Structure 1
Amino acid sequence: MSSPAFDDYLKAIYAHTEWQDAPITPSQLAAALGIAPSSVTEMVKKLAAADLVSHVPYGAVRLTDAGRDRALAMVRRHRLIETWLVREFGYAWHEVHDEAEVLEHTISDRLLEGIDERLGRPRFDPHGDAIPDAAGRVDREPFVLLGDAPDGHTGHVLRVSDRDPELLQQLESIGVAVGVDATVDADGVVLDGIRHSLPDGASEAIWLSAQPADVGSSRPPRKERR
C-alpha cells in the first residue's frame, strides 16, 4: 500500500534506533511525529496488519524486514533531497528538513536516481546522517554521543541532529559542522584550539567518531561554511 502516512511512521521508527539501540515506544513515536497518542495506536495497528511493524500492547514498536526496507527507501529519498537542496540551491543545513519532508513524497524514482548521480552518489547528508544506497545498504563508522564521551576524547563530528533548527544555527556559529575535529572538555568542546561553551541540548545532539580523529576513517566530507 502506498501511503505517505505509513512512510512517515516507518521513517520515524527507523530514525529512533539509528544512533542508539533502545526501540521506540508509542508515546515516543507520538512525540516524534507531533500527533496524539490515540492516533499512533490506530496507525501502529494498521502497520502491524500490513506486516511492516511488530508490536504488542503497551510495548515497543519494531520494524519488520519489510518495514525496514520501506523505511530505508524513504530515508534515502529524504536525505538525498536535503543534500541536493544544500549543494544545488544554497539552502543552509537548518532549512532543508521541512522542504525534504514535502518533496520526498512527490518526486519520481527517475528524478531521485538523477539527483543521486548528479551529486556523485553521496554517502552522507548535510547533518552527517548516512544515505542508504539503492539496495538499502548503510555505511557508518563507530560513534559516541557527545554527552557520553569522556573528557579529553577527540573525534570528528559525524552527525548533528536536525530536530532543532535554532540549535543548528547556534552550533554553526561556533564552528560545529560535520567533519570537523572536536575535543570533549568539561566546560564544552574544543574546536581548532578554541574552547567553546555549548548551548542547551547540544550534548545530546552531536555524535563524534568513537576512534581518535587522527585514525583513518570513512568520515563524511566537511560541511562548507556559509
Structure 2
Amino acid sequence: MRPPAAVTEDYLKTIYAHTEWQSDDITPSQLAARLELAPSTVTEMVKKLAAAGLVTHRRYGSISLTDEGRVKAIAVVRRHRLIETWLVTEMGYTWDAVHDEAEILEHAISDRLLDAIDERLGHPRRDPHGDPIPDAAGKADREDFVLLTDAVDGHEGTVLRISDRDPELLRDLERRGVDVGSPLRVESQHPLAVSCDGATLRLDDAAGEAIWLTA
C-alpha cells in the first residue's frame, strides 16, 4: 500500500497536469480514469483533500486546486520532471521508460538531492517530453501552443510537448523522427498528415491528441 502522503501527491499532481495544456477543470470520472482507480475510491479521497483545504469540489462537479493545493502540486511536478530529465541525461534511460521510475522516486528523494540534481543538470527548463519544469519558486516557462489535432491545415510550428502517457507512441514517433523540437507542418487533418524534415508522415488520432505545437 502506498503511503498516504504519496497518494495525496499523486492526486494533486494529476489534477494540476490536467489543466496545464487545456483550460477545463478535471471531473471525478476523468480523475478516476487517469489514476486507474474506482470512482468510489476517488470520491472518498477528493472529500479528504477538500477537507484538508487542498481542492475545491462541488458534488457532481469538477475539481480544482486551492492555492495551497497548487503549491503542493507544483512541488511534486517539479520533482517528477527533474527526475525524468536526470534519468535520461545522466542514467541512460530512454524517454519512453522514465515515467514509471519517476513515479516511484518523486516520493522518496530529499529536497537536498533534488536541488543537487537541478544544479547538476544546469537548471533545465523542460523535461524530455517538453513539459515545463517549475523552478524552486514554482514558476514555469510557457509558450503559446496548439494541440496538433486542433491546428489548421498549413500550420507550421515546433513540437513543444509530446504526452508521455503512451510509451509505444513515443517509440513510434521517435522511429519516425518526431521529437520535442522537431519542426512540423500540418499538411491535412483528414486524414492527419504532417511534414517533418522533408518527409510526409501519416499520423493516427492518438498522435494528434498527444503532440503540442508552437502556435
- Bin the TM-score by the shorter chain: over 0.9
Tell me how far apart the structure 1 counterparts of residues 174 and 203 of structure 2 sit (CA, whole Å). 11
Structure 1 position 193 matched with structure 2 position 193: no
Tell me how far apart the structure 2 counterparts of residues 61 and 195 of structure 1 sit (CA, whole Å). 41
Instruction: Could you list the structure 1 runs, at least 4 aligned residues long, displaced by more than 6 angstroms after superposition.
Output: none
Tell me how far apart the structure 2 counterparts of residues 153 and 191 of structure 1 sit (CA, whole Å). 12
Equivalenced residue count is: 210
Q: What whole-Å deviation, never above 9, does each CA across 1:139-187 have from its counterpart, x for those lacking one?
A: 1100000000001101000000000000111111111100111101114
Give the letter for the 2:128 counterpart: P
Structure 1 residue matching 2:146: 3-state secondary structure: strand
Counterpart among 138, 141, 151 of residue 140 in structure 2: 138
Structure 1 position 53 matched with structure 2 position 55: yes
Structure 2 residue matching 1:3: 3-state secondary structure: helix
Give the letter for the 1:44 counterpart: V
Q: CA deviation at 1:188?
A: 1.1
Tell me how far apart the structure 2 counterparts of residues 113 and 98 of structure 1 sit (CA, whole Å). 21
Show the counterpart of 1:215.
Answer: none
Show the counterpart of 1:206.
Answer: 211
Q: What whole-Å deviation, never above 9, does each CA across 1:59-112 have from its counterpart, x for those lacking one?
A: 000000000000000000000000000000111100000000000000000000
Give the letter for the 1:65 counterpart: D
Show the counterpart of 1:183.
Answer: 185
Structure 2 residue matching 1:29: 3-state secondary structure: helix
Q: CA deviation at 1:130?
A: 0.2
Matches within 5 A, 1:101-180: 101-180=103-182
Asked if the contact 1:93–1:127 (Cα under 8 Å) also holds between the matched residues in 2, the reply is yes
Tell me how far apart the structure 2 counterparts of residues 185 and 69 of structure 1 sit (CA, whole Å). 41
Tell me how far apart the structure 2 counterparts of residues 76 and 136 of structure 1 sit (CA, whole Å). 8
Show the counterpart of 2:14.
Answer: 12
Asked if the contact 1:170–1:199 (Cα under 8 Å) also holds between the matched residues in 2, the reply is no
Structure 1 position 93 matched with structure 2 position 92: no
Asked if the contact 1:51–1:64 (Cα under 8 Å) also holds between the matched residues in 2, the reply is yes
Give the letter for the 1:52 counterpart: L
C-alpha RMSD of matched pairs (Å): 1.1
Give the letter for the 2:199 counterpart: I
Asked if the contact 1:159–1:206 (Cα under 8 Å) also holds between the matched residues in 2, the reply is yes
Give the letter for the 1:194 counterpart: A
Give the letter for the 2:65 counterpart: L
TM-score (norm 1): 0.91
Q: CA deviation at 1:199?
A: 3.5
Structure 2 residue matching 1:168: 3-state secondary structure: helix
Q: CA deviation at 1:57?
A: 0.4
Tell me how far apart the structure 1 counterparts of residues 206 and 187 of structure 2 sit (CA, whole Å). 16
Counterpart among 60, 68, 71 of residue 70 in structure 2: 68
Structure 2 residue matching 1:79: 3-state secondary structure: helix
Unaligned runs of 5+ in 1: 211-226
Unaligned runs of 5+ in 2: none
